[in-house]
Amino acid sequence: MPALPSEAGPAGRAVGLAARLRVYLLYCLPQHLLSVLMYSATRIRVRAVKDWQIRWVIRRYAVEMDLALEPDPAAYPHFNAFFTRALRPGARPLAEGGQNLVSPADGVVSAAGDIVDGQLFQAKGKHFSLTDLLAGNAAHAAMFADGKYATIYLSPRDYHRVHIPLDGRLQAMAYVPGRLFSVNDATTRLVPGLFARNERVITIFDTPAGPMAVLLVGAIFVGSIETVWAGRITPPYRRRVHAWRYDIPGEEVFLKRGTEMGRFNMGSTVIVLLPKDSVAWSPELQAGRTVNAGQAMGQLVSPPAAAPPRIRS
């Protein structure tokens, strides 16, 4: 019997009328325009403005500044520098043992389990297509058929740098245009196919577990998604899928487990995909559970029997 994701935690609560109205309003809003404006607003360097922005978020979301490499809110040149702040050494210890697959980010587990019949669990009563999530790329989807997935939501209070869960050699990356719905609890339960509709950056790695995909999913007010090897991917917002290949000589990118691979501006979601029989999720990896970057989410079952298939864009 395939392991099904837990529905414990936030998914058990009813969505109230006010939350429903906010979600439906998102369909009407100019999502990309608002995100462009937010991108500019979060880079204002006027001291009075940026200090107010930073202190408001610290108070509103109880941000733990004692974990930051720079704990003084006034020291940040603008809000985005604060939002993508580094943590002090040791704040997020890496789980020992190379067989441990670690969380790519601080956040809350939305779902984790098996990919069943090409579908991933989104919320109670809602699933979405693996192929749609991977922008219709059937070859990529085949690598993760009947595989494993974990979805982690980053709130505004969280550390917003994303780290690679396993040692990995980058094979391909794609920018996928889409909507910019919020990715909170209410939208996850009300917007069909949310993660396959939103803008996202897909990265594919070769790892000790075989192929692994790490997806950075955008949301409204996420003014920028970037990677350490390519810099800023968005904005600008493109109308078509844009792909890059790294499986050619001179383009190699190798990252050690727990190394930073990218970052968000504002809150969003990270999805990790792995092949069938590659990893056993930790029993604690339940919906609604808080995780930190570097924390063990599961263990590798065994090395792949054969070399992973060559990635084709």
Distances (CA, A) of 49 to 110, 221, 222: 34, 18, 19
**Catalytic (active-site) positions:** 106, 163, 268
Percentage helix, strand, coil, to 5, in the chain? 25, 30, 45
Output Rg (C-alpha) for the chain, integer angstroms: 19
Residue 65 per-residue DSSP state: G
Q: At 92, is the secondary structure helix, strand, or coil?
A: coil
Q: What's the CA gap between 202 and 190, in Å, rounded?
A: 24
Q: What's the CA gap between 139 and 136, in Å, rounded?
A: 9
270 CB-contact burial (10 Å; exposed 0-12 / middle 13-18 / buried 19+): buried
Residue 32 per-residue DSSP state: H
Q: Return the residue matching tokens 């990995």.
A: 168
Q: Which tokens belong to 8?
A: 């414990």
Q: At 311, is the secondary structure helix, strand, or coil?
A: coil
Q: Which tokens belong to 39?
A: 């991108």
- Cite the DSSP H helix spans in 29-183: 31-41, 47-61, 79-83, 130-133, 138-143
